[in-house]
Amino acid sequence: MESDREVLERPKIEFPCLYPIKIIGHSVENFKGMVISQVERHTGPIDPELIAVKKSRESNYISVNITIAATGKEQLGKIFEDLKKIKSVKMVL
């Protein structure tokens, strides 16, 4: 029988896997380039077809969705840490 704790824990991710990352920030010049550059430091070149960009209705914010080939929790942690260092980034999901 599973304990309540086991039921509430997030499902385990099996690596390697395709892993989507969503980066939201202020719509500043080269936002897309900055976030892609930070991610590629940890992944190598990303296929442009795995990158989607969407601006907010009034173009104040922008979201960049990048799907990477994740190799492990350590890699993901470093990516999230580096992305949060970019001043215009407001949220990383």
State which fold the 16-92 domain adopts: Alpha-Beta Plaits (3.30.70)
pLDDT tens digits, one per residue of 66-86: 999 999 999 999 999 999 999
Q: Note the pLDDT tens digit of each residue in 18-28.
A: 999 999 999 99
Q: What average pLDDT does the segment 25-41 reach?
A: 97
Q: Whole-angstrom Cα distance, residue 31 to residue 24?
A: 10
pLDDT of residue 8: 58
Instruction: Please give the Cα distance from 16 to 67 (Å, whole number).
Output: 13
Q: What does DSSP assign to residue 60? A: S
pTM of the prediction?
Answer: 0.84
